[in-house]
Amino acid sequence: MRRWGLALVILALTGGLVGCGDGDQTADQPSVPDTFVAQGTSRLSDPFADVDLESRELPEDAVLIGTGYAVALSRYGLATELTEKAVRELHLRVPSIPPPWRAGKGREFLMVHLVRPEKRTTPRGDRLPTVEVVVDGQARQLSETAALPNTVIVVSVPTGADAVLTFTGSGQTQSISIRTGRLVGPSPKPATSPSASPSRAGGAVASGTVRLADYAGVPGHGPGLGWDTIVNVEIEVELRRYDEDRGPAPDGALWAHVEVSLFASATPVTFVVDLSRSLALRTAAGQVLRVPDKTRMPVPNYLAVPGSAPDPTLTAPATWSGVFQVPERTGSLSATYRTRGTASEGGKKVTFERRDVRNSGTITLT
């Protein structure tokens, strides 16, 4: 009995010591600065649930539209700690602060997911707007790519406090509450797309958009270390009866205006995509819309490295556009994207592989 008693005591003490060790390790994990803000990306409808974080859906009218951007606030979430898995799966990049991240006493992380608004066309613009998140009157600037759909924003706030997302571009500013999805302050009249203007000859008869993504990484380097990236692809198609360069479409046909936008999450790896080999577009009737051979596009990414200023030319997606003649009854196109091209890091060529993809979709023209 004494031996069993002694064994139980030792077991209890050992378990207690192990438990205390885990607790001490969590307690010793430093909190992020009160001014903390991070930016990531996700194509999931509820990226927070995928990493076991609670979130709430925002109203359908939680939308910001201006010249060069159109986003909807889909969901917001709250957390006091973000695990390594959460940071990795949300593609959050703060190289100077390794995960897990703790908000600290009396604070929490307020998170929001931006998506493309339903049945809204993005007004054309040469640059993305300036994006800031404001907490207690203090602005924290984000990269301009925060104005793109699929963006995830995480900001440290006092427990229960709100944060305001502000977009400024083309002489107008729009602000929206992250917790409520309501516009804050005066809201300017949304900009309209020139191609959608009823006064312009050859306005769109029908249009549609699809968003695809390819996950690429350099072999030998794990995810979340900057050697992997999501190449985001947006394809917009407009059918028109008239084209400024080609004139009216032949009888029984329309002009299909195709615009492709490419953008990547932050990475030191520079990708140059051969779009002619990467993208396949086909009508439901089987007609192939071919991108011209050797159409190469450097994929922009906003590289956030402490002490290094981002290249100002990498603040908007790379775009390619083309015009094709299609039958008048064309109602949809299939799109497939597989990244093919070259990659380099620090001027040295590296190989890359495609890992996890959502690279096929349908463009429904309505």
Question: Do 254 and 314 touch, CB atoms closer than 8 A?
Answer: no
pLDDT tens track for 107-144: 999 999 999 887 655 555 557 788 999 998 889 988 87
CATH number of 37-177: 2.60.40
Say whether pLDDT at 148 is over 70. Answer: yes
Q: Which H or E run contains 66?
A: strand 63-66
Strand partners for 179 = none
pLDDT tens track for 55-96: 999 999 999 988 778 899 999 999 999 999 999 889 887 868
pLDDT of res. 310: 45
pLDDT of res. 185: 66
Cα distance between residue 135 and residue 157, in whole Å: 7
| Cβ neighbour number for residue 76 with a 10 Å cutoff | 23
User: Domain ranges in the chain?
Assistant: 37-177, 203-364
pLDDT tens track for 3-25: 444 443 434 444 433 333 333 44
Q: Which H or E run contains 6?
A: helix 2-28
pLDDT of res. 11: 40
Domain 203-364, second-level architecture = Sandwich (2.60)
